[in-house]
Amino acid sequence: FVVDLSPVEEYEKSKPMVLINPKILDFSEKKIAIEEGCLSIPEVRYEVERPETIYITYYDTDLKEQTFEATKLFARVFQHEQDHLNGVLFTDHLDEDVKKKLKKSLDKIKKREIETEYPIFQKRNYQLK
């Protein structure tokens, strides 16, 4: 995946970073809760607790293995995107009481009854042969 933090204040000078086959090697015990959202779940935002610092390995665009200590926003974005690779959404990290509060919004998204500034494609019933 690609991490591009340049639209965010304090990260304007950063360049997009390509991470091929990324893995988290270790993480700090200290966790922080920050509000997250996702294009996959429009208009739903909620605080998610994640490790503040992570240690990652990945291959760059030259297919050279790199290791990196990610902190702050980069660590947050990396974990969020890594979750997507594993089929996990940020809402999967929320407790059941919070999910109940969000149920109405999540149901609207599921039924495609929500307007976005980007396309949401119709569900297709693909079948493997």
Please, is 70 exposed, middle or buried when counting C-beta atoms within 10 Å of its C-beta (0-12, 13-18, 19+)?
Answer: buried
Catalytic residue check, 81? yes
- Tokens for 53? 């610092």
Residues 29, 43, 81, 117: which is the catalytic one? Answer: 81
Q: How far is residue 75 from each of residues 32, 57, 66, 122, measured CA to CA in Å? A: 11, 13, 15, 32
31-38 and 20-27 strand pairing: unpaired
Spatial separation of the C-alpha atoms in residues 69 and 47, rounded to whole Å: 23
Task: Provide the annotated active-site residues.
Answer: 81
